Amino acid sequence: MLSELDPVETRQVRPSLPKKSSTSDLESILFVIVERGERTPREQHYPYVTLERDPWDDYTFRTLFSLTIYLDRTSMVRIGDVKIMKLGQGGGPTSFVDRRFKGLPVNYCSLGQSYTYYNLVKELPAKVADMLLRGINDVVYRPGIRDAFEDEEVFQLSLLRTGSAMTAFRDAPNLFISGLVQVSEPTVILGFNTDVGGGTFPIRFIFNDSPNLPDRINAIIGYNGSGKTQLMANLAMVATASIHRRNVDEYGVFEDAATIFSSVIAISYSAFDTFAMPDEIWHTDRERSMVSARLRLGASTFGYTYCGLRRLVSVGSQENSPPVRPLKSIEDLTADFTIALDIAQGSDKGAVLTKALQSLGREPSFGRIGLDRFLAMESTNWHSQFEKLSTGHKIVLNIIAHIVCYSEPKSLVLIDEPESHLHPSLLSAFMNSLSGILRDLDCFAVIATHSPVVIQEIPRRYVRVLKRIGNSTRVEEVVQETFAENIGSLTSSVFDLDSTATDFHEVLRNLAENRSLEEIDTIFGGEMSIQGRAYVRSIQRQLRDSNA
């Protein structure tokens, strides 16, 4: 029976039962439907599951629930979003014969909405996980029942609406196949047709084709105004779009309609970035309003995460005006980090996070502040230490924590100009940590950059040059190898820095016309650079020849 008492205070824990608990005599799990805003019930027997109804609307179908399992009186696990349907369901919410049940009838099925959902269930004791998934007729765990539901309109339009759900439906069954032999992942080719203010153009990214190289990162370079940031924003919109809107070319289209990413993580620490916020990718006022409400509880929703300077939730704005999103304060950034850190450390990705932070700790500036000491701390103790760090350190740690926290296998990470606020050595260390995270978590990244330090860490086959001429945009490949190349060579040959256009040439030319080389060297305290001396000599030689 449901208790009429207030629920006891519970804490989120990793999915494991208390040591004294046993599942050997467990015969069933009770499921309880909870309406939105209702008090969470307290049952007398553990474990039990609550399914809190969410008002989210998929083309009139309302199938979304938030699943939480209570392991004992003081601990629980929020497993995440799941959608439940029944055969012949029309529009409206999924209805049930009873709000309390030990198993759904055969004309119902469910689908977890992310790969993480199934990872969390997998960490439960085997018998508990089995009873949970069988109790709600999960189509990932019980693939034999799929045929009865797959052709239903509600299944296609609601349960499989997002890329994260599609990825779970496709890949999560492997989690429950014992003895599965892991095979090497295939090369991923991402073809994308889009425009950035002119004509449509194609761009192609390649991932995971050379395991001995950092093959999980592609880079976009180009002059200011070439459209790099807009291209990234367009890519985020299409990669996150509802599966049934992939043919709408407002922002672009994938060449392969089957291209699916489990989630998208958009990262920019520019105050002028154009990434859409999680509520802006939806197309109706009702959807945007509901997503905005969900964002008050966390940074990620329906497979899209934004990590940056703008606040997730807008403040009041005038009618018919775009929402106003103030920039985050230092306190906001600190809170973002500690939340992401806590989630990442409490998941099965904790080892990946530790490895990434240990790699960063070898960078000189992090070494001086003793990042290794922080690794031994509980996440609750990071807050005060984080506030003392420099801007660059805060940004790098935030990015790393967010990627580990919110990524799933086959996530797409989009990073706009990571070099902002970072010393070259810290930027290089970040690239190294990022490459390891992407490989460990089976994710991919596209980076827009102006930095030769970034390009130095990426083989040329993964670098694309965006060039804009009038309304025409074209994409070119880099001619020379970029990986491990000299920074000066990359600056001149890849980023097309014309040495004659730099300010120091004009300064030295003016000096060379009126002073001797010795006088000029004296101005520099006798420490004039070799390149500077050579340039002055060449100018003075030209002057002598012209006067001869």
Q: What is the pLDDT of residues 413-469, one digit of tens each?
A: 999 999 988 999 999 999 999 999 999 999 999 999 999 999 999 999 999 999 998
CA dihedral 19, 24, 26, 27 (to 10 degrees): 170
Report the pLDDT value the prediction gives residue 8, as an integer from 0 to 100. 40
Give the count of beta carbons closer than 10 Å to the beta carbon of residue 226: 19
- Strands of 222-318 (E only): list them: 253-254, 264-268, 300-301, 304-308
Coil vs helix vs strand at 445: strand
What are residue 219's DSSP bridge partners? 447, 463
Nearest 5°: the CA angle 367, 400, 460 is 95
Phi/psi of residue 507, nearest 5 degrees: -65, -45
How far apart CA 46 and CA 26 sit, in angstroms, is 9
In the predicted structure, residue 6 carries a pLDDT above the cut 80: no
User: Can you give the pLDDT at residue 299?
Assistant: 58
Question: Which pLDDT band, with edges at 50, 70 and 90, does 44 fall under?
Answer: confident
Q: How many residues in total does the chain contain?
A: 548
In the chain the first and final C-alpha atoms are separated, in Å, by 107
- Cβ–Cβ contacts within 10 Å for residue 296, how many? 8
Q: Which residues contact 403 (CB under 8 A, 6 or more apart)?
A: 265, 267, 413, 434, 437, 443
Choose the weakest-confidence range: 241-245, 271-275, 490-494. 241-245
Q: Please, which pLDDT band fits residue 330 given cuts at 50, 70 and 90?
A: confident
Q: Which domains does the chain have, with CATH numbers?
A: 11-176 (no CATH), 188-315+323-494 (3.40.50), 500-547 (no CATH)
Q: Are 62 and 55 in contact (CB under 8 A)?
A: yes
pTM of the model: 0.84
What token pair was written down for 364?
């000189």
pLDDT at res. 446: 98
Q: Is 31 helix (H, G, I), strand (E, B) or coil?
A: strand
Task: Give per-residue pLDDT as tens, 491-524.
Answer: 888 887 665 556 788 899 899 999 999 999 999 9
Q: What is the pLDDT of residue 462?
A: 98
Residue 290 has pLDDT above 90, yes or no: no
| pLDDT interval class at 323 (50, 70, 90) | low
Per mean pLDDT, which of 300-309, 474-483, 525-534 is the most reliable? 474-483
Whole-angstrom Cα distance, residue 251 to residue 194? 6
In this prediction, residue 321 has a pLDDT band, given cuts at 50, 70 and 90, of low
Please determine, for residue 314, whether its predicted confidence score (pLDDT) is greater than 70.
no
Mean pLDDT is lowest, of 56-60, 376-380, 399-403, for 376-380
Average pLDDT, stretch 467-481?
92
Could you give the C-alpha distances from 415 to 137, 236, 363, 434, 448, in angstroms and in order? 39, 11, 21, 11, 6
- The tokens 């860490």 sit on which residue? 457
Q: What is the pLDDT at residue 246?
A: 58
- Please determine, for residue 34, whether its predicted confidence score (pLDDT) is greater than 80: yes
Share of the chain above pLDDT 70, in %: 85
pLDDT of residue 369: 82
Between 436 and 295, the more confident residue is 436
- Residue 4 confidence class, pLDDT cut points 50, 70, 90: very low
Give the pLDDT confidence score for residue 22 in this predicted structure: 56
Q: At what angle do helices 163-171 and 115-122 cross, to 10 degrees?
A: 40
In this predicted structure, the answer to whether residue 245 has a pLDDT above a threshold of 70 is: no
Poorest-pLDDT segment among 39-53, 186-200, 273-287, 310-324:
310-324
Rounded to an integer, what distance in angstroms lies between the CA atom of residue 135 and that of residue 334? 40
Task: Give whole-number Cα distances, 388 to 192, 304, 368, 421, in Å.
Answer: 42, 30, 13, 16
Alpha carbon 518 to chain centroid, angstroms: 56
pLDDT tier for residue 296 given thresholds of 50, 70 and 90: low
The proportion of the chain whose per-residue pLDDT surpasses 90, expressed as a percent, equals 57
pLDDT at 226 over 90: yes
Region label for 292, one of left (φ > 0), alpha (ψ between -120 and 50) or beta (otherwise): alpha
Q: Which pLDDT score is estimated for 184?
A: 54
Instruction: Tell me 357's DSSP state.
Output: H
The per-residue b/e assignment along 388-424, b for 16 or more CB within 10 angstroms, e otherwise, is ebeebbbbbbbbbbbbbbbbbbbbbbbbbbbbbbbbe
- For residue 19, what pLDDT band results from cuts at 50, 70 and 90? very low
| Average confidence (pLDDT) over 382-386 | 78
pLDDT for the residue numbered 43: 80
Burial label, 360 (beta-carbon count in 10 A; 0-12, 13-18, 19+):
buried
